[in-house]
Chains A and B, each alone.
Chain A
């Protein structure tokens, strides 16, 4: 057999819950009426409190017109069954109708502001509720008294007294019953106030009820002198359970108190005014104290939550975070900090910050600026870190928050990169040195060939024996060619020896001329015209001469290769220099050709290592050139030429401040 069903909702819907609650209010109404009904033995016709005003207002407030039949029915039931007064039925109906009307008027007037906020209480909200309760009670009592013809029946002062008593009764009724019902209605609701209550609260409730009953039911006790005892459990509950506890304890107190007076009537209070004042004092004290306590509890909870979320952030961030007292002692560390500094778990608090970051000079570090330093690990290792910090001034004194990030990976990458860069520069330098050697070998072979030839001539002349003059002349030519060889060698040695030095002041025109001379044979072979037009009056530049010649060599070489490959007619490369437009401390050097220029794609990867458009070549020339120029605090960039061709420009720092303006 297959079981059906199983689809009952686990939680009762809000509508169902409120309807059940509405039905429960009928017996509640009757019960409250019974315990507060002025029994025949009592002298005064006015009840000491009017809990039904509070209940009626709550029903209207929650269900509007729809609650009216319930209220009216309950009222009529009480009049006919419980009170069993001797008044005629029409009079009873009229009196009940007036009660309904007075409640309706109060509801219409105050339905917007009437709200008891216990989930997120604040003093302002509670005071608003109290003020609205005053207004509603005034309106209800006045309406009732006027309608029931209490006006003009006797002395004017007597009417005010009656009306005031009724107002106080309504006021107490609203203050005690309305909050209590609002709380009970939310039972298992979104805020679920009772789940915050415990068995302690039940004990408290019983205690309160017992005290009230004893004080007012025991004939030997003068309740007016001992009333303050009721404050003790009320303050206790308010302080521990806030507004919810206060509202409930206030209600229980009143039920017990007035129930005792009405039912036992052992010692009916002689002076209702005094009782009212005491009750009002107790109710207001309870509600306000409960509000303040609840507000504080809520703030503490918010603080706790925000602290907890901050702590979870503190714990989870991968960077080390340390808080430090004003005296430089560590207050707390997050797990990343414990790990970074190689500390014991939960260790580190109380250490001097100097022990963790020995090189950090707090005076020098500006707040929120990142500085690089070293972290001292417990195992003695120093770890490069990036540190940022800021000071806050708390009530306990100044406190510093410090963040440290391990940058050893970045540092090693940087070192590796710098090594690679140096390596590349060296490779490039070797290649240029190799080319240079080939050029020099060629250059030096010319005078050597001439010498060999002249010596052949000399040998022939010497064998012949005659023509001594021609022999002498030829030997002179041999000497000249030998000197030419030594010049070439001297040039080469000068070039090779001046490579590694610090930047020195160099005349740019000489640097460029030499660079062009070095590849003169390539230039000649390619049939390219290279024009160097650098004004001789240009200030000297602070450069490593060989490196800048390498850059010029690379740029000229690229131009030659591009133009040869493209078969450019009348290929020309111009090398020019002038003082930079934007910066009088720099010289801009331009190397321009009239070749095919560069495609847009090629421009994108121009300075990327190992990207080349040449048939042969490693694609390092431009990236190395850029590194060299940047090492000279300059920039190297590409521009398309105005009439095609490629234009490379770079800047170099001027060596001296005094410049030849011409």
Chain B
């Protein structure tokens, strides 16, 4: 049985609703109210995916993820958070999250991501097709758009980017919109996911 999805969130309503959602989509939800409870009681063999909140009483989702990597490096973890800031997203991806999704999300998107990460895990990693797709999109960016992308990925505001590049905030906004469109990113988190995916792969020496 590898259809178990571990749900780690300290909010009762989120935990309950998410459990119902994955259950009705044919998975087997196992809910935990804290990171500590999850690390102590989850079944590595029976689980195919973990969905964890970042902000929780006690241990945070990121810290939990780091601990989990030591024992179960292959178990994909989707981080969901109500704090959609870039540093948190980058930290989550660096810690090895399979995906990073902001609350509230479209449940269709969530279920699609779950399906993807489970499939990736079964295939043994990211498909080279996905990586090539990201590369191709980055190559389409203009020089300025690329600069804006690099700065956005560090989590600074448009105003700071404008200052660094010596252009107006309005110009940065325009570049940023074009860049997001070319990258096919709907939200900031999508962009971060793409950038960190490449980052992680290049660090691992995979091209």
Interface residues of A (CB under 8 A from B): 438, 441-443, 445-457, 460-461, 474, 477, 480-481, 484, 521, 524-525, 527
B58 touches A (CB below 8 Å): yes
Are B107's CB and A442's CB within 8 A? no
B17 touches A453 (CB 8 A): yes
Q: Are B108 and A449 in contact (CB under 8 A)?
A: no
Q: Can you spell out 8 A-B residue pairs with CB atoms less than 8 angstroms apart?
A: A445-B104, A449-B82, A450-B17, A454-B17, A456-B107, A457-B20, A481-B13, A525-B60
B103 within 8 Å of A by Cβ?
A: yes
Are A524 and B55 within 8 A (Cβ)? Answer: yes
Q: Given that A454-B17, A477-B13, A477-B17 are known contacts, is A449 also in contact with B57, CB under 8 Å in the complex? A: no
| B14/A446 in contact, CB under 8 A | yes
Q: By CB atoms of chain B within 10 A, which of A438, A446, A480 has the most?
A: A446
With both chains docked as a complex, state the minimum distance between the C-beta of B126 and any C-beta of chain A, in angstroms: 26
Residue pair B107, A450 in contact (C-beta under 8 Å)? no
* Contact status B20-A445, CB under 8 Å: no
A441 to B104, CA, bound (A): 10
CA distance A394 to B35 in the complex (A): 92
Chain B nearest Cβ from A572, distance in angstroms: 16
Residue of B whose beta carbon sits closest to that of A527? B58
Question: What are the 6 closest A-B residue pairs judged by CB atoms, nearest first?
Answer: A456-B107, A453-B17, A445-B82, A450-B13, A448-B104, A450-B17
Chain B 1-23 interface mask (CB, 8 Å, partner A; 1/0):
00000000001011011101100
Assess the B103–A449 pair: CB atoms within 8 A: yes
Enumerate B73-95 residues with CB–CB distance to A below 8 Å. 80, 82-83
Determine the distance from Cα of A450 to Cα of B7 in the docked complex, in whole angstroms.
Answer: 13
Q: How many residues of B contact A (CB 8 A)?
A: 25
Q: Which residue of A lies closest to B12 (CB)?
A: A450
Question: Given the complex of chains A and B, what is the CA–CA distance between A481 and B13 in angstroms?
Answer: 8
C-alpha spacing A461/B24, complex, angstroms: 8
Which chain B residues lie closer than 8 Å to A457 at the CB level? 17, 20-21, 24
Whether A446 and B20, one on each chain, are in contact in the complex, defined by CB atoms closer than 8 angstroms, is no
Query: Which of B57, B60, B103 meets A448, CB within 8 Å?
Result: B103
Contacts of B18 in A (CB 8 A): 449-450, 453
In the bound complex, residues from chain A placing their C-beta under 8 Å from that of B25 are 460
Q: B residues within 8 A CB of A451? A: 17, 104
| Contact call A453/B21, Cβ cutoff below 8 A | yes
Q: Which residues on B sit within 8 Å (CB–CB) of A527? A: 58
- In chain B, what residue has the closest Cβ to A453? B17
With both beta carbons as reference points, the residue of chain A lying nearest to B24 in the complex is identified as A460
Q: Are B104 and A449 in contact (CB under 8 A)?
A: yes
The prevalent SS among residues of A at the interface is: helix
* Distance of A456 Cα from B108 Cα, bound (Å): 8
The residues of B with any CB-CB pair to A shorter than 8 Å are 11, 13-14, 16-18, 20-21, 24-25, 55, 57-58, 60, 80, 82-83, 103-108, 110-111
Q: Is the CB–CB distance between B106 and A452 below 8 Å?
A: yes
Nearest-neighbour CB distance to chain B for A447, whole angstroms, equals: 6
A449 and B20 contact, CB distance less than 8 A: no
Give Cα A449 to B82, complex, Å. 9
Assess the B105–A449 pair: CB atoms within 8 A.
yes
- Identity of the chain A residue whose Cβ is nearest the Cβ of B102 in the assembled complex: A445
Q: Given A454-B20, A457-B21, 16 other A-B contacts at CB below 8 A?
A: A446-B11, A449-B17, A449-B82, A450-B17, A451-B104, A452-B105, A453-B14, A453-B21, A454-B17, A456-B21, A456-B110, A457-B17, A460-B25, A521-B55, A525-B55, A527-B58
- Assembled-state Cα–Cα distance A448/B11 (Å): 12
Question: Complex formed: what's the CA distance from A455 to B110 in Å?
Answer: 13
Give the shortest distance, in Å, between A469 (CB) and chain B (any CB). Answer: 14
Q: Tell whether, in the assembled complex, residue B57 and residue A446 are in contact, meaning their CB atoms are under 8 Å apart.
A: no
Is B55 a contact of A447 with CB atoms below 8 Å? no
State in angstroms the CA–CA spacing of A527 and B105 once bound together.
Answer: 28
- Tell me, in angstroms, the Cα distance from A457 to B21 when the chains sit together: 5
Do A456 and B13 form a contact, CB below 8 Å, given A442-B55, A449-B104, A449-B105? no
The listed residue (A446, A455, A521) touching B103 by CB distance below 8 A is: A446
Q: Which chain A residues lie closer than 8 Å to B105 at the CB level?
A: 449, 452
Best-surrounded residue of B17, B103, B106 (most CB of chain A within 10 A)? B17
Are B11 and A450 closer than 8 Å at their CB atoms? yes
Name the distance in Å between A530's Cβ and chain B's nearest Cβ.
13
CA distance A621 to B111 in the complex (A): 45
Distance from B26 Cβ to chain A, minimum over Cβ atoms (Å): 10
Cα of A627 to Cα of B2 in the assembled complex, Å: 62
